[in-house]
């Protein structure tokens, strides 16, 4: 989850020999029964995201697949942070039009002055009070799929089906440790051994995932689930930033036939690719991570046109939305600009 300018993504501590992602400091949950003091209510909260951040992108995809756009309005930050982290410079006057703030840090400060852990996205903010509710990126999408069910669109998929939760949890834990967070441990390593261990973990897990997906369309069951969302947000960034910027360069995503076809299948599914902004992704990583890329030069490549090519994964069967249906058109005002699309 995106936080400080030093690392750009994730609540993290960059020590002398290792990169460690810290737990979310604000782990309140928005639930159907309001047991943490934050009941689900249409229009009460604002979801603050960066399209550059893979952790925030999970929430953007889930929100769209479930049809929560009206119930949970969204604010998109500038992909380039300054010393106060995520800012609303994409909005008129440099302020979020609903919260009235220039920096997400103001919502954190309203919740707990001087709170530790950095300013991260995704973040849910209570509109009336202007206070941060949660920045728990691991739990947020699970709650959108379950606790917000009464506000889902008609035909919304079940992204966290009860009968498959143990298997989903097992898969997402492995994906998180070795892939989602593994690329960061490689990219921000400060020692050769640390880097090599993370690098080997990334590609060992990608090889296992490629084998798992060779004869099945989705990671768990025959429909899209939380597991697919979590893997996708790393895969879609792999060639654009992780391969070069984070030195995860054994091979590109496009060089693994199974994972490349799987990623294209998801990208072309409504709710996935239509939330991805490659311009934001590239500018954020290459311009914010000055310790890795001191020149702040943003590469022109890779060629993105391949994301729209045929993938052939339909032959494996599967039902993307189960008994449900795909989401409708992207909400007006939330379209990804042409600069961010293939």
**Known binding positions for glutathione:** 86
Question: Has 53 been annotated as catalytic?
Answer: yes
* Structural tokens at position 25: 């400091």
**Catalytic residue, candidates 108, 137, 160, 184:** 184
By three-state DSSP, how is residue 140 classified?
Answer: helix
Beta-sheet strand order (sheet of 45-49): 74-76, 45-49, 123-126, 131-134
Give the annotated binding-site residues.
86
Helix axis angle for 192-213 and 257-267, nearest 10°, is: 70
Give me the count of residues in the chain.
342
- Alpha-carbon distance values, 57 to 122, 297, 331 (Å): 8, 24, 16
Query: What is the per-residue DSSP string for 287-320?
Result: HH-TTT-TT-PPP-----GGGGS---GGGG---T
Asked about 184 being catalytic, the answer comes back as yes
Q: How far apart are CA 124 and CA 32, in angstroms?
A: 15
Would you please indicate which residues are annotated as catalytic (active-site) residues? 53, 184
């Amino acid at each position: 989850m995106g936080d400080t300018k030093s690392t750009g993504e994730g609540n993290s501590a960059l020590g002398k020999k290792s990169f460690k992602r810290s737990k979310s400091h604000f782990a309140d949950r928005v639930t159907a029964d309001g047991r943490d003091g934050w009941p689900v209510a249409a229009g009460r909260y604002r979801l603050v995201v960066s399209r550059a951040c893979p952790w925030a992108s999970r929430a953007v995809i889930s929100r769209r697949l479930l049809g929560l756009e009206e119930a949970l309005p969204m604010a998109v930050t500038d992909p380039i942070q300054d010393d106060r982290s995520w800012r609303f410079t994409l909005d008129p006057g440099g302020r979020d039009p609903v919260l009235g703030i220039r920096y997400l840090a103001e919502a954190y400060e309203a919740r707990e002055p001087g709170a530790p852990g950095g300013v991260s996205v995704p973040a849910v903010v209570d509109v009336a009070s202007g206070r941060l509710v949660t920045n728990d990126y691991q739990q947020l999408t699970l709650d959108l799929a379950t606790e917000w069910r009464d506000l889902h669109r008609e035909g919304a998929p079940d992204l966290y089906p009860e009968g498959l939760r143990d298997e989903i949890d097992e898969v997402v834990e492995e994906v998180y440790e070795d892939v989602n967070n593994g690329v960061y441990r490689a990219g921000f390593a400060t020692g050769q051994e640390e880097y090599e261990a993370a690098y080997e973990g990334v590609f060992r897990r990608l090889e296992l995932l490629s084998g798992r997906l060779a004869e099945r369309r989705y990671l768990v069951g025959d429909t899209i689930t939380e597991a697919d969302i979590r893997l996708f947000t790393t895969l879609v960034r792999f060639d654009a930033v992780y391969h070069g910027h984070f030195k995860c360069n054994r091979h590109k995503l496009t060089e693994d036939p199974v994972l490349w076809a799987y990623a294209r299948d998801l990208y072309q599914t409504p709710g996935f690719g239509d939330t991805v902004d490659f311009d934001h992704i590239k500018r954020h990583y290459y311009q914010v991570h000055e310790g890795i890329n001191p020149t702040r030069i943003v590469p022109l490549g890779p060629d993105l046109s391949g994301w729209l090519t045929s993938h052939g994964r339909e032959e494996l069967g599967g039902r993307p939305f189960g008994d449900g249906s795909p989401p409708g058109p992207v909400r007006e005002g939330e379209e990804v600009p042409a600069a961010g699309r293939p």
